[in-house]
Structure 1
């Protein structure tokens, strides 16, 4: 599994978990303040798409995860 897929998986899990903890109708509800974490993850995805800087990517690469290789003709 490459870094790009891992980042998408981490973001998806964090968003779903924070929504479960922050939405009042959820059986996991703790506090609506968890929705700030959802916004943080979404903003981080947005800024990394523009700036190409992602802290999680740096961490995963240091842990030995492989980057996606682009095949050129």
Structure 2
């Protein structure tokens, strides 16, 4: 798995987790999905992604988007 795919999987899991928590616990968990979405948008423009940095330190091989 490349770094790009790992970031996409992580972001998708965060959004699905947010929806599940909003349904079962509190609607305020939607803010987690908002944060994940905003982070994906800013990463597309700036190339800075904390999740990509964490996965890189864990040894995930680089992809095309995050170096």
For structure 2, the residue ranges without an aligned partner over 5 or more in a row are none
Once the 2 structures are TM-superposed, how far is the Cα of residue 13 of structure 1 from its aligned partner? 0.8
CA deviation profile, 1:29-57 (whole Å, cap 9, x unmatched): 10011001110000000000011100011
CA RMSD in angstroms comes to: 1.0
- Provide the TM-score with structure 2 as the length reference: 0.90
Name the structure where helix makes up a greater proportion of residues: 2
Once the 2 structures are TM-superposed, how far is the Cα of residue 20 of structure 1 from its aligned partner? 1.2
User: Whose radius of gyration is greater, 1 or 2?
Assistant: 1
Q: Matches of 2:37 and 2:53 in 1, distance apart?
A: 18
- Provide the TM-score with structure 1 as the length reference: 0.83
Count of residue pairs brought into register by the alignment: 64
Once the 2 structures are TM-superposed, how far is the Cα of residue 16 of structure 1 from its aligned partner? 0.8
Q: Matches of 1:64 and 1:21 in 2, distance apart?
A: 30
- Flag the structure with more relative contact order, 1 or 2, with Cα contacts below 8 A and sequence separation at least 6: 2
Shift >2 Å, 4+ stretches: none
State the match for 1:64 in structure 2. Answer: 59
Instruction: Please say if 1:44 is aligned against 2:52.
Output: no
For structure 1, the residue ranges without an aligned partner over 5 or more in a row are 24-28
